[in-house]
Amino acid sequence: MEGIIRFNPPLLLAVTAMGTVQLFKFLHSWVRFGRPDFTRLVGTGGMPSSHAASVTALSTSVGLQAGWETPLFGATAFFSLVIMYDATGIRRAAGRQAQVLNRMLEELRDYHKLEPVRLKELLGHTPMEVFAGAAYGCLLAFLLNPRI
């Protein structure tokens, strides 16, 4: 583990950002509903976005380590923007479609013999969830990134 810490701070910070956000969502859900929901440790969706936190921590750390003008920072920043766009666009739309389909299946179940299969609805993020995750990832990178 020491080799990762010493030689790859961007990777460690990205994993730390993702892990701490998922832990926060797990603990928040436990407090809110009074029981642990272990799917929140690995599940998608919710406030804040762990994907946005991790890719922003990665990009910010790369910028701090390699320089803001380097091609490596450019590549990680672009990758981060694609991930965050996907979370608020495509994955969020898929979650909304799952909600509609689940509602339709519940109504049809009264008239037809259907298997009780429920689609996952919590897939994407609101722009605020992505912004909060990105802000956390950036802050974490600035606070914990080792100075060279």
* pLDDT at position 138 over 60: yes
pLDDT of 133 reads: 92
pLDDT of 124 reads: 65
Q: What is the pLDDT of residues 60-105, one digit of tens each?
A: 999 999 999 999 999 999 999 998 888 777 666 666 776 777 677 7
* pLDDT at position 134 over 90: yes
Nearest one of 119, 143, 126 to 49, comparing CA atoms:
126
Asked whether 47 and 128 are in contact (CB, 8 A), the reply is yes
Distance in angstroms (rounded) separating the CA atoms of residues 124 and 89: 8
Report phi then psi at 83, rounded to 5. -60, -45
Asked whether 60 and 142 are in contact (CB, 8 A), the reply is yes
Please give the residue that has the higher pLDDT: either 132 or 106. Answer: 132
pLDDT of 148 reads: 58
Q: What is the pLDDT of residues 28-67, one digit of tens each?
A: 878 888 888 877 777 777 778 888 999 999 999 999 999 9
